[in-house]
Amino acid sequence: MLELGSTSMTIVAVIAAIAVVSLVFALVLRRQVLAAPNGTEKMRDIGQAVQEGASAYLNRQFRTLALFAVIVFGLLFLLPGDGGVRVGRSVAFLVGAGFSACIGYLGMWLAVRANVRVAAAATRPGGRTEGARIAFRTGGVVGMSVVGLGLLGAAGVVLIYQGDAPSVLEGFGFGAALLAMFMRVGGGIFTKAADVGADLVGKVEQGIPEDDPRNAATIADNVGDNVGDCAGMAADLFESYAVTLVAALILGKAVMGEQGLVFPLVVTAVGALVAVLGVFITRVKGQESGLTAIYRGFYVSALIGAVLAAIAAFVYLPSSFSELSGTADLGDVKADPRVVASLAVVIGVVLAGIILAVTGYFTGTTSKPTLHVAATSRTGAATVVLSGIGVGFESAVYTAGIIAAAICGVFLLAGGSIWLSLFLIALAGCGLLTTVGVIVAMDTFGPVSDNAQGIAEMSGEVDEEGAQILTDLDAVGNTTKAITKGIAIATAVLAATALFGSYADAVEGALAEVETVGTGLVTSMLTYEIISPVTLVGVILGAATVFLFSGLAVDAVTRAAGAIVYEVRRQFREHPGIMTYEERPEYGRVVDICTRDSLRELATPGLLAAFAPIAVGFGLGVGPLAGFLAGAIGAGVLMAVFLANSGGAWDNAKKIVEDGAYGGKGSPAHEATIIGDTVGDPFKDTAGPAINPLIKVMNLVSVLIAPAVVLMSAPEDANTVLRIGIAVVAAGIAFGAVIFSRLRASRVDREQEAEIEADAVV
């Protein structure tokens, strides 16, 4: 086992201390947010309802996921490996899942208390500046917590396990990714079911404003913003942080030895300092746009992060690869490790900045694509939907091309060395994540400002000027949410690409233990050549899994939203006093329906993600499984960007019309953009974001099972019956869940038809 020297151990200990300081800083920011005035009694009552709904949902979700986590914890013990590593990996899985849950819960807890404070700020002089500050610092708390817990977990494992840390961290990353995927799917179904139901019945059918207190789905809609966008995205970015570190440490150990195991931690520790800087320098000056202030804070902190990472590289790394103790075959690499490592980090930082600009262009309220989508509202909902789809497709190509260019740049930087380029891709991901604290703050800004606008409208205690301030902040929040989704997608691709190297390392290590490798079909199962038909089958299956996963997520929102529509219609029909403010809607019933349906729909996508790689790996071999991962990454990046940006464009096109364009609120153009927005809701906030953890979960499952697949397929005397049996069981679980979901959908359709017929008789 590789043992770290005293200098490296000291550096890792300092990094762990930085992690603790980051958590302390998060507490300081939290106190500042909670110190702000929390509005009138009516505002507080509405905020309390949102708080109770969000806490109840996440508590039920965590109880559901706890059983799943315990089962996976036990299954990890069955994987081959050293006993101490297996125990550590299983425990690290629980720690990673626990940290991801903590981050998600913290994001939700503070956001549902900051929203009312932002609404109250809009009623005071300087409300724009104060409201933006509260919203951004709320995100800063979550961002510092992501950095702190991510660094603490990784540094702690390295201190305890040293050279075996990468294998143990596989469990840490897997736990974080698995829980994030469940939180993304469940929270996304909750929030978009409520949002779509509220819009279709309230805005379209009844002609009342979005957050009108007469709409029974408004509280659930505000709850959903927090359990989906706050809790889900915070967990998503935490798992991106954890998984990127896992890939970087695995490859760093192979390429650079001791220094490669420590340097990625140094780069991400720089991110803690950058996050503090970003939170403090992001201030709205006078009447400037909040987006301008956020962009300024992001770019300044990103530049400083790149400079500090380069300084760390030149201080810590030697000037030649010959001085490093890595075991990977790098060929004849003459480059200076300090230079290539610094440039890789710079590529990651630049990639984040470019993705920010491109996503902002395709989804911003002042950009041509979104203005075009808004303009198509003059000819109806169909053209709004078509134009938004076009924007999504086009933006996906540009974003994927930019990410591909970054990967090519890193490959050229490595001089063509596969192993070095994979490590540098992981370092680029670490460089991108030096800005993660600011990225999380940008994302949380969105749902907090959205909730603040809802509370202001429901309370009726904010004047016209204050309402406009909150509308402007909400529009900024829509763009920042879309931007952070784009950056999250980029991190997912870099992490998944780097995990290819981890996968290859696991396969090679397992093959080294096989005395006699079989021939015939075994050779095809082990080859990575894309020209092999069976490997190409893996590519097709990987891409197909992304499409199936996305379809399941969107369909789940459709069913849940249908239930909300029927419930809100029923309340309007049976309680006519609601429209005249004489009766109070039953908000709790809608929250309960969203909670029930989102948790019921949670298992199917999760089982598909976990068991599809197992079925392909044990059924077809490690070569086709590599193809499966490639197909999932390729289709995943395009699908995720398409869904996120088309949804963002539709949402902000609606904002443009609501601000007075093409007839303003209540016009046919407004109704058309509402339809576009309801189509985009499950795109951008459920299916699209969930693809990020999906591809990383499938990569990590593949890394974990790769040694077992090799040991059960490569030897001449391998137990083929057992291997195929595992594949059949895994495929049965994955597709059995899908079939069960289809049967449940048919039952729900029949129940809804029966309710309609019964209402017609009455």
Are the C-beta atoms of 131 and 23 separated by less than 8 Å?
no
Cα gap 619→613, rounded to integer Å: 10
Q: What is the pLDDT, as a whole number, of residue 546?
A: 94
Q: Which residue has tokens 């443009």?
A: 656
Are the C-beta atoms of 605 and 689 separated by less than 8 Å?
no
The CA distances from residue 4 to 1, 15, 401, 427, 723, in Å, are 10, 15, 39, 20, 38
Q: What is the pLDDT, as a whole number, of residue 545?
A: 93
Q: What is the pLDDT, as a whole number, of residue 347?
A: 92
Residue 405 Cα to chain centre, angstroms? 22
**Other Cβ atoms closer than 10 A to 603:** 17
pTM of the model: 0.85
Q: What is the pLDDT, as a whole number, of residue 612?
A: 92
**Other Cβ atoms closer than 10 A to 418:** 16
pLDDT along the chain (762 residues), means of 10: 77 91 91 87 85 83 83 80 79 90 87 87 80 84 88 89 82 87 84 82 79 82 79 81 84 84 88 83 70 80 88 88 74 82 90 85 87 93 94 92 91 85 89 81 80 82 80 76 77 81 77 64 63 88 93 87 86 86 84 83 82 90 89 92 90 88 88 90 86 86 86 76 89 87 74 63 52
The CA distances from residue 356 to 225, 337, 364, 493, in Å, are 22, 29, 11, 16
Cα gap 421→498, rounded to integer Å: 9
Cα gap 299→275, rounded to integer Å: 12
Cα gap 644→640, rounded to integer Å: 6
**Other Cβ atoms closer than 10 A to 533:** 8
Cα gap 297→278, rounded to integer Å: 5
Choose among 677, 120, 132, 102: nearest CA to 449. Answer: 132
